[in-house]
């Protein structure tokens, strides 16, 4: 079973895997204020998904497994990889 199929089977029916919309980071404060209730509605819909069968931390690979076994490993691995790479503005 592929990653997308597994994720689809555990997510809430209200959560769309390919949503139409906008990126909140690209909104100015006035635009965000106009639609903030929709943002929080979506967060609550995502929260209603049952992910009790998922173990670990990080992004899913193609087998729908996470890369890190603990939150500490995820944080250390994530920040170490970013710290070892120069910011794109400096390359």
Chain segment 31-82, per-residue pLDDT in tens: 888 888 888 888 888 888 887 888 889 888 888 888 899 999 999 988 876 6
More confident residue, 15 or 51: 51
The strand ranges marked E within the chain are 57-60, 66-68
pTM: 0.48
Of 19-28, 37-46, 80-89, where does the model show the most confidence? 37-46
Least Cα distance to 54 among 17, 3, 14 occurs for: 3
Is residue 44 within 8 A of residue 7, CB to CB? The reply is: no
Which of 3-7, 17-21, 26-30, 86-90 shows the lowest mean pLDDT across its residues? 86-90
């Amino acid at each position: 079973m592929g990653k997308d199929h597994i994720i689809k089977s555990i997510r809430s029916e209200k959560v769309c895997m390919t949503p139409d919309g906008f990126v909140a980071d690209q909104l100015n404060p006035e635009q965000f204020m106009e639609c903030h209730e929709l943002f929080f509605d979506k967060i609550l819909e995502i929260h209603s998904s049952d992910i009790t069968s998922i173990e670990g931390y990080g992004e899913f690979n193609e087998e729908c497994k996470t890369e890190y076994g603990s939150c500490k490993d995820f944080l250390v691995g994530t920040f170490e990889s970013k710290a070892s790479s120069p910011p794109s503005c400096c390359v």
